[in-house]
A and B are shown apart, each in its own frame.
Chain A
């Protein structure tokens, strides 16, 4: 044996970390470029203050509900985008894929004698999303064409499919009460409180379960105070949301949908083998391949998820507008969704990001869109401002990468 034996870490330090140590580690991470959700939350605060000063209707209960409904579609599509960005790939077709799903839903539910049950129509629309995404994934992995090109072709082709499906109708009015209800109906006041308490209870339960399990295995835990603060923080945040929306029309169903899918995809990404493999492929595809991970399979599934979530977003968008027309899936939906994922903190370089980025980013995008609308500014101005915010978000990503490089974490 050799003479040099490095000092063992003190075992006491490995148990429950002290509050001071926790704060120190957090500060170190921020300096090292692991910014987390910090910039985006600061950004949201700035946006709220600026718009409120300009127009005191921005921070009202009514507008808050509007904002939720407007942002929901972007958040849903952006969740799918997070999966492909984590791989270091891109999907430019999600806009028109959402259009295809919206149009399919509306057409299948058209009361012209051949309409199908609502559930069948929704399943068909979602299924078409999965099929489209699988097709993209197969072309990208098996033929080896860059995702940028394949999904750019998809952008054109699925736009064509939307036009073909609509045909000479021009506009298809959505007449199914259930589908329209997504974005236009609201959870009752009491039900919203119950949902909120259930969510916080489940979160607290999960945190305690984790604490106990780690303690039983003799592993270090975050300080109890921090865990408590997280639970209380979630409670306060959700309670504020429910209180505010109850001042107006109530909690829109679509917000519940976003919440459920947020939890579901977060679980998939952080707690399952598949999710771990997505991060691995995005971080080092060769290492993943040597570890026995089927890289192609992971990629195909991620593109399928992106198109599936685009379809979900498309149905929600159709629901909000109560109709679909030849513009379905066009306009800002594609770029706003990608921007939402990136602004929320998903790295364009692959391997870094969370599903919650989709929600936070969509909140920023919807706030800007909504706020500038309240100020009566043209959509030209909206696009310019949104573009600048996107640029800022990517710049923050680049700077934090540099921070990581300097502290040896890149």
Chain B
């Protein structure tokens, strides 16, 4: 299983945390990439910013569609394309957790719930120094949360 990226959106539709795990490049060559790095990096950062908005738009529209068709208590769980799988979990306070993985991964709903309960609540919500809202990711990007998220994903893989 490969995890490509992970996003958290708050109830104001703002992306408060995003992280990408890019797999190793497909072709392995001994040459160092140092000269290609600056442009490649800039490209990644910009498109990832746009990506988070697109991801939010997608899950927001699909969630509304699912609620309309299946009733208020229906939940959108995941969707699959030929290339990737998107998992979705929403807390009662409308914080949205989204994870993009490869096609072989099982349902990650429990995993996303665990991330919320064991990591987000423990290290972000219960952190006395963190504000109640997280505009621009303030409070979420603390070391403890990022470190344990990294470990969680590595363990799940």
Q: Do A and B interact with each other, yes or no?
A: no
Report which A residues bind B (CB closer than 8 A).
none
